[in-house]
Chain A
Amino acid sequence: MRCVRVWFKKMGMSRYVSHLDLMRAMTRALRRAKVPLWYTEGYNPHPYITFALPLSLGMESLCESMDMRIEGDSTNEEIFSMLKDNMPPGIEIINVSEPVFDPKKIVYGEFDILFDCKNNAEYVAELVKDILSKDELIVQKLGKKGRHKVLKDINLIEFIKEYTVSHYGERVKLSIILPAGSSTNINPSLLADEIKKRVEDTSYTLIRKRLLTENLEQFS
């Protein structure tokens, strides 16, 4: 038995698959692919599968990873070729590798926020730069206080590690590094919604591009 890390993209309509549903969908895909899964030995045998960091519903991603335990001596390349044609639509296997970092080491995420702008992309890009250059951008975030869920005011600017703003055609792209992981997690939609409020008639899509460790090393 050994552990492998499977890397995949979650794009298109599959972004509406919730974390729990993704677990089920992937388990079925692994079964279709006849991957030699290791099953737990208890009362109710099940494969041992974990995901590095749950992805919000509606967000696309280029950097999802799933750890699983397999039996036998299949190589990573063999596992890759078993999996690649058995994925549900929208999920694409990129690579199979040995896990390097523990998922607990994930501290940051790099995201692209893409705004659709009719004919004022340049203006929107300036607006975004302006918003982010201020010292404060207060939004309400659902947090926990003991066992209760409460809305907390947070200053988003404090959490931004890096960002760049660019525009092309009818689109504005904000690439941004925000805390992601088990201790602090800032959903980029908080920022995207705040910007959307200030721009008339726009919509946005979100893509998670990379997960990073404390030292901004790529999670692998």
Chain B
Amino acid sequence: MISKDVEKILPLVQKPGRYTGGELNSIVKDKNMIALRYAFCFPDSYEIGMSHLGIKILYSAANKRDDVWCERVFAPWTDMEKEMRERKIPLYALESGDSLTDFDLIGFTLQYELSYTNILNMLDLAGIPVRAQDRTSLTPIIVGGGPCACNPEPIADFFDLFMFGDGEEVSDELFDLLIACKKENTSKYEFLKRASQIKGVYVPSMYEVEYNDDKTIKSVTASDNAPEKVTKRIISDLNTVHYPDKFIVPFIEVVHDRVVHEILRGCIRGCRFCQAGFLYRPIREKSPDTINAQCKALCESTGYDEISLSSLSTSDYSHLEELMEKLLSWTEDYKVNIALPSLRVDNFSEKLMGYLKKVRRSGLTFAPEAGTQRLRDAINKNVTEEELMNTARQAFSGGWTAVKLYFMLGLPTETYDDVAGIADLAQKVVNEFYRNPDKPKGKGVQVSISVSSFVPKPFTPFQWEAQDTMEELINKQNHLLSSVKTKKINVSYHKVNISFLEGVFARGDRRLSDVIEYAWRHGCKFDSWDDNFLFDVWLEAFEKCGVDPLFYSSRKRDYNEILPWDHLDYGIRKEFLIKESEKAYKNETTPHCKIKCAGCGTNMLNGGKCDALCKSMV
């Protein structure tokens, strides 16, 4: 329950439904019966956070325990923050309305680099010191997890520990430890020492980083018996791991307002730019029966009319047809629509399209990522122009008149011809529409191309690459715009300064903590929202802290350089990444995991098992 003070300010702010809590299926417990209070924080607005699948899974998994109460906390929008600060209302959790300071464990999910300032802001809104060294009592312990945790160094000074990999099991072990330490009334140091022995837990304060004169890292040394390399955790079998049978149903509309089901973890493709494709390995698939039963339970408990079958590459799921048959046996009666995000052009079948049309027609989006075959080979996208045209033809004869295509600018080895190739490819798709004899009468075609800027990320074959500078990216954007000759193609692209900043933090080190704190203290928050993005303040922050951002973003690294995340182990062998990087420069592709195991090494995390491998041997 939110406090009377909060209630008084709700009429003054936009979308007060974000701040009330009490949504259907939210979990309220008696705090006197609880051994550990856990605040799960999403460092962005309610609408973004409530759309995130991870929070739903981990919220439900934690609350399954009788001795733990997990609550949700989101970043209040700027108008709400102003009212809260004026009235000295601390940041509170939605279920109990209690201040963050009442919690034992505060967890942040790290989804994108530009949410870092919001983390500091949220801690500060609760009156919690932002730096770990200034928090001396045992609780609250501030932890982080999620994709950006794979290089947590830029925010290492703010956190007590990070968890790597799948969170379902490791959080449980952490709860047990913190409950024990609270009972024994140990020091925070003692807790952290014991936590560092849990597999998948990284306590940054137990690692000393030394630098060379050229600012690169000289060494990272573990102390207090902490492991030299921290290995990520994985869930071995997705069929037995906890999956919620209820989702909280927000009162207000959020970005993804639907049932989401994760059908597989990992990706067989190995696109060289894609961090998720490497971070979430090895491949683990869920069985169609499990997915079907869980989807039905979720539709009944929420009333949602759409199911999204989510994964990094949904059409690669081995049992997709079987699953669709199972789902469609009841979804038509229930008037439930099935969305298949992340489809690939090379295995988009007529049958699959038929399934999509059955309930309601949604948009079609494909991601060729690059305009020319050469560059698609270099990034190992493994999609040919012919495949894209086949797919377009199928879609158009199936009645679709709008197609969206995703591309990236600034990929390694990219030339201006590759950029113009994006416009050419879109033009060919337009032509394909007019070549189709069964095209819908009296309708035009709309090809939307959305172009993002490539950011090199840790644990990918491109982790050593220099990111294009902002000037280069703008030139490429302009070149693309001037290459498009028709209004049937519309182009949208990302702001380059946001990509630049993302590039700095993705591969940054501990010296960036000062920059982040400076920027936040001077007003930066909600940086991924164009209206709030204060680029000048960021530039000032780099200058005042004596940090050259280009050192992190636009510097090509040597294979021998010690990278800030080298002491973190995501199961991917470095030799594999180097081999992939060299192949990129030779425009050589690597077949996907079901054709031939490329030897990334992540199956060793799962006792040698990988669902992609098993399938190829059958």
* Range for the number of chain A residues in contact with chain B: 20 to 34
Contacts known (A16-B10, A16-B17, A58-B16); A27 close to B22, Cβ less than 8 A: no
10 A-B pairs besides A21-B253, A28-B304 with CB distance below 8 A are A12-B22, A16-B16, A20-B253, A27-B303, A28-B303, A28-B305, A29-B303, A86-B303, A88-B251, A89-B24
A89 to B251, CA, bound (A): 10
A13 to B18, CA, bound (A): 11
Most buried by A among B8, B252, B303: B303
Residues of A within 8 A of B (CB): 12-14, 16-18, 20-21, 24-25, 27-32, 39, 44-45, 57-58, 86, 88-90, 203
How many Å from the CB of A213 to the closest CB on chain B? 30
- Tell me if A203 and B303 are in contact (CB < 8 A): no
A-B residue pairs in contact (CB < 8 Å), sample of 14: A12-B22, A13-B2, A13-B20, A16-B16, A21-B251, A21-B252, A31-B334, A31-B335, A57-B16, A58-B16, A88-B23, A88-B24, A88-B251, A89-B22
B334 surroundings in chain A (CB, below 8 A):
31
How many Å from the CB of B422 to the closest CB on chain A? 33
A86 surroundings in chain B (CB, below 8 A):
303
A119 to B257, CA, bound (A): 46
- Tell me if A89 and B10 are in contact (CB < 8 A): no
A203 to B456, CA, bound (A): 54
- Tell me if A58 and B10 are in contact (CB < 8 A): yes
* CB under 8 Å from chain A, chain B span 285-306: 299-305
Most buried by B among A16, A20, A21, A45: A16
A18 surroundings in chain B (CB, below 8 A):
15, 17, 252
Does B249 make an interface contact (CB < 8 A)? yes
How many Å from the CB of A57 to the closest CB on chain B? 7
| Nearest-CB residue, chain A, relative to B20 | A13
A44 to B305, CA, bound (A): 12
| Nearest-CB residue, chain A, relative to B17 | A16
| Nearest-CB residue, chain A, relative to B305 | A31
* CB under 8 Å from chain A, chain B span 1-44: 2, 8, 10-11, 15-17, 20-24
- Tell me if A44 and B360 are in contact (CB < 8 A): yes
A14 surroundings in chain B (CB, below 8 A):
251
- Tell me if A16 and B251 are in contact (CB < 8 A): yes
| Nearest-CB residue, chain A, relative to B359 | A45
How many Å from the CB of A200 to the closest CB on chain B? 15
A28 to B336, CA, bound (A): 11
A17 surroundings in chain B (CB, below 8 A):
17, 251-252
A20 surroundings in chain B (CB, below 8 A):
253
User: Residue A32 contacts which of B8, B17, B20, B303 (CB distance < 8 angstroms)?
Assistant: B303
A16 surroundings in chain B (CB, below 8 A):
10, 16-17, 20, 251
Number of residue pairs across A and B with beta carbons under 8 Å?
63
Most buried by A among B2, B11, B23, B335: B11
B22 surroundings in chain A (CB, below 8 A):
12-13, 89-90
A129 to B257, CA, bound (A): 48
A31 surroundings in chain B (CB, below 8 A):
299, 303-305, 334-335
- Tell me if A32 and B302 are in contact (CB < 8 A): yes
B304 surroundings in chain A (CB, below 8 A):
28, 31
- Tell me if A89 and B23 are in contact (CB < 8 A): yes
A12 to B16, CA, bound (A): 13
A44 surroundings in chain B (CB, below 8 A):
360
A25 to B251, CA, bound (A): 6
B253 surroundings in chain A (CB, below 8 A):
20-21, 24
Interface digits, B455-496 against A, CB 8 Å rule (1 contact, 0 not)? 000000000000000000000000000000000000000000
B335 surroundings in chain A (CB, below 8 A):
31, 39, 45
Most buried by A among B20, B24, B251: B251
A44 to B15, CA, bound (A): 28
A13 surroundings in chain B (CB, below 8 A):
2, 20-22
| Nearest-CB residue, chain A, relative to B19 | A16
A29 surroundings in chain B (CB, below 8 A):
303
A88 surroundings in chain B (CB, below 8 A):
23-24, 249, 251
- Tell me if A28 and B302 are in contact (CB < 8 A): yes
A57 surroundings in chain B (CB, below 8 A):
16
A142 to B228, CA, bound (A): 66
A39 to B334, CA, bound (A): 11
B23 surroundings in chain A (CB, below 8 A):
88-89
How many Å from the CB of B399 to the closest CB on chain A? 11
B252 surroundings in chain A (CB, below 8 A):
17-18, 21
Most buried by B among A12, A13, A24, A45: A13
| Nearest-CB residue, chain A, relative to B11 | A58
A190 to B257, CA, bound (A): 34
A102 to B59, CA, bound (A): 45
A188 to B17, CA, bound (A): 21
A24 surroundings in chain B (CB, below 8 A):
253, 257
How many Å from the CB of B358 to the closest CB on chain A? 12
How many Å from the CB of A15 to the closest CB on chain B? 9
How many Å from the CB of B117 to the closest CB on chain A? 28
Most buried by B among A20, A28, A29: A28
A104 to B177, CA, bound (A): 63
Q: Which 8 A-B pairs have the closest CB atoms?
A: A28-B303, A31-B303, A32-B303, A13-B20, A16-B16, A17-B251, A16-B17, A88-B24
How many Å from the CB of A110 to the closest CB on chain B? 22
How many Å from the CB of A120 to the closest CB on chain B? 19
B301 surroundings in chain A (CB, below 8 A):
32
A111 to B307, CA, bound (A): 41
B257 surroundings in chain A (CB, below 8 A):
24
- Tell me if A21 and B302 are in contact (CB < 8 A): no
A65 to B304, CA, bound (A): 22
B17 surroundings in chain A (CB, below 8 A):
16-18, 21
A21 surroundings in chain B (CB, below 8 A):
17, 251-253
